[in-house]
Amino acid sequence: MGAVSASLDDLPLRADLRGLTPYGAPQAALPVALNVNENTHPVPEDVADDVLDSVARALRDVNRYPDREFTALREGFAKYLGHGLSADQIWAANGSNEVLQHLLQAFAGPGRTAFGFAPTYSMYPLLTRATGATYQAGTRGVDYTLGAADAAAQIEAADPDVVFLCAPNNPTGTPLGLDVIEAVYDAANGIVIVDEAYQEFAPRESRSALTLLPGRERLVVSRTMSKAFAFAGARVGYLAADAAIIDALRLVRLPYHLSALTQAAAGAALRHAPAMLAMVDEIVAQRDRISATLDALGYQPFESWTNFVLFGGVDDPAATWQGLYDRGVLIRDVGLPRSLRVTAGTETESTAFLDALASLGPGGARV
């Protein structure tokens, strides 16, 4: 056999996948990695010990398939979320990406359309197209905000089968009012997914879309353990919705999609929710410090209810990204004009980013 490998063009790939680019946040082992909105604080030692014990116990039975219904974990999520939710209204999968994929497999697919308000989470179009559906991008106002009347009008015109509302929004950090969610739900005939991946970083008094679930059988609220919960490597996402939606997801999931080890690890981490979430206030403080310092440096940070900050006023985003990279700091160029996005890390990491950026001079680096 020769060493020559085929290119995608040589393969009988589905026509609708030709020309697509895979998800590709650069991975690099830099000392300060603030590019994919993780919680950069390690799992507390005593929690890690308990997770390890649970995984070790699960390993003894790993010759058997796991609980296909992951009942104990669903009960754990129902209790954690509150709002009177019960286990039959909960679903979980390997990251909220897989939760979203299950939703799209059940409610999008060939001949159907999913809709998101750009700029928003870059996986929505990729996940949509992978099910054979069409993705349609709506628009936002200045500063990436979205008003109820505008959003509802766009949904009425497009009449999509699935709507994504990222609340607060990635990559901009923008909060989304519950009035917008209500208006979009009323205007839509399809499923409305509120992606609350970053909800734990929103102000304490802000209401979750979970409060809107009663009486809205097409509304879904998705969450993840990857952000505030400091569990990105374990790959666990979940959602709350009407029990009938959960029945629909059983039609598309692979049998035993959540491994026994994942179920054990997630269940143990959930039992320690307060300890796992203990760093949220510190991260929010760093986020606000980053925004204030960026402002003082002459950049334009956008309002953020998340664990990251999008900032404008960057003369040359690619050169500035590279300048930071060369100083050991990895952030994200999300392709928005004159802007970059940085995750709020520990105090030390946040300081390293701010110092490195300041060292590039006003407006950042230029080629």
Ligand X SMILES: Cc1ncc(COP(=O)(O)O)c(C=O)c1O
How near is the Cβ of 97 to ligand X at its closest, in Å? Answer: 4
DSSP string, 45-90: HHHHHHHHHHHHHHHTTTTSPP-TT-HHHHHHHHHHH-TT--GGGE
Bridge-based pairing of strands 308-312 and 300-301 is antiparallel
Alpha helical stretches, state H, 82-138: 96-107, 123-130
Residue number with CB closer to ligand X (121 or 321): 121
3-state class of 230 per DSSP?
A: coil
115, amino acid identity: F
Q: Phi, psi at residue 222, to the nearest 5°?
A: -105, 150
Q: How far apart are CA 102 and CA 93, in angstroms?
A: 9
How near is the Cβ of 59 to ligand X at its closest, in Å? Answer: 24
Residue nearest to ligand X (CB): 95
How near is the Cβ of 170 to ligand X at its closest, in Å? Answer: 4
Q: Count Cα neighbours of 213 within 13 Å in the Cβ-side half-sphere.
A: 25
Residue number with CB closer to ligand X (37 or 89): 37
Please report, as ranges, the residues that interact with ligand X according to CB under 6 A.
37, 95-97, 121, 166, 170, 195, 197, 224, 226, 232, 237
Alpha helical stretches, state H, 109-231: 123-130, 148-158, 178-187
Residue number with CB closer to ligand X (37 or 291): 37
Strand spans (E) along 98-230:
113-117, 134-138, 162-166, 191-195, 219-224
Residue number with CB closer to ligand X (39 or 96): 96
How near is the Cβ of 116 to ligand X at its closest, in Å? Answer: 10
How near is the Cβ of 362 to ligand X at its closest, in Å? Answer: 30
How near is the Cβ of 178 to ligand X at its closest, in Å? Answer: 18
Residue number with CB closer to ligand X (155 or 166): 166
Residue number with CB closer to ligand X (97 or 263): 97
Residue number with CB closer to ligand X (161 or 196): 196
212, amino acid identity: L
How near is the Cβ of 271 to ligand X at its closest, in Å? Answer: 20
